[in-house]
């Protein structure tokens, strides 16, 4: 009889614990929403990020993206709003899809896509000084709208710097770069290459200042 009573009591305890966990999640969502309403978006972003890591709920990553949008962290907002919208069969997403998509359109006006096709394989790619991977890149890059200074380099090859302009929307800008073998012992050619790189860097700085 004691064993039977214990067996029946266990599901009740688990159910109560589950309700408590759900209540805690709801309380954190409410707290995060209040932080956003108060303009405390850094705190709201961090709260929703931690909440998503715990629950993997689409509404948590969407609300994180909305806080990032308020902070003008356009790339992060773009990534996280898209990730939330990609979840199918979720009640929150279905109910709020139109409003979320409206916010994503605002974010997308600040973000564009750059496709870099480069050779040889294994060459490193940096954009505005930030490492972005090796050729061939696994996917198109989402970047802030505006000038992008792309550098591709590989041992034994002449590095190349090209300035590109990233435009808003999902239609990509494509940049094709093929490195050539390094020719040593030609000081004139080396000076000319250095001058070209300096001119490209100055063009990038001027373009960035005008954004």
Distance CA 77, CA 69 (A): 5
- The pTM score is 0.73
pLDDT in tens, 17-58: 578 789 999 999 999 999 999 999 999 999 999 999 999 999
Look-up of token digits 């069969």: 89
Burial group, residue 161, by CB count within 10 angstroms (0-12, 13-18, 19+) = buried
Q: Which one is predicted more confidently, 6 or 122?
A: 122
Q: Which two tokens stand for residue 162?
A: 């090209």
Question: Using an 8 Å Cβ cutoff, are 111 and 143 in contact?
Answer: yes
């Amino acid at each position: 009889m004691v064993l039977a009573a214990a067996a029946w009591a266990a599901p009740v305890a688990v159910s109560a614990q589950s309700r408590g966990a759900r209540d805690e999640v709801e309380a954190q969502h409410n707290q995060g929403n209040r932080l956003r309403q108060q303009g405390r978006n850094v705190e709201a972003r961090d709260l929703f990020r931690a909440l998503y890591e715990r629950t993997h709920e689409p509404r948590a990553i969407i609300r994180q993206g909305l806080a990032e949008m308020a902070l003008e962290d356009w790339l992060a907002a773009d990534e996280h709003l898209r990730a939330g919208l990609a979840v199918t069969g979720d009640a929150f997403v279905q109910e709020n899809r139109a409003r979320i998509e409206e916010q994503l359109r605002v974010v997308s006006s600040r973000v564009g896509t750059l496709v870099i096709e480069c050779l040889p394989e294994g060459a490193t790619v940096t954009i505005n000084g930030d490492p972005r991977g090796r050729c061939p890149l696994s996917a198109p890059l989402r970047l802030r709208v505006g000038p992008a200074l792309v550098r591709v380099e590989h041992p034994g090859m002449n590095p190349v710097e090209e300035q590109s302009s990233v435009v808003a929307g999902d239609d990509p800008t494509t940049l094709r770069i093929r490195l050539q073998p390094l020719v040593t012992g030609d000081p004139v050619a080396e000076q000319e290459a250095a001058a070209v790189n300096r001119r490209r860097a100055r063009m990038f700085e001027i373009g960035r200042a005008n954004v």
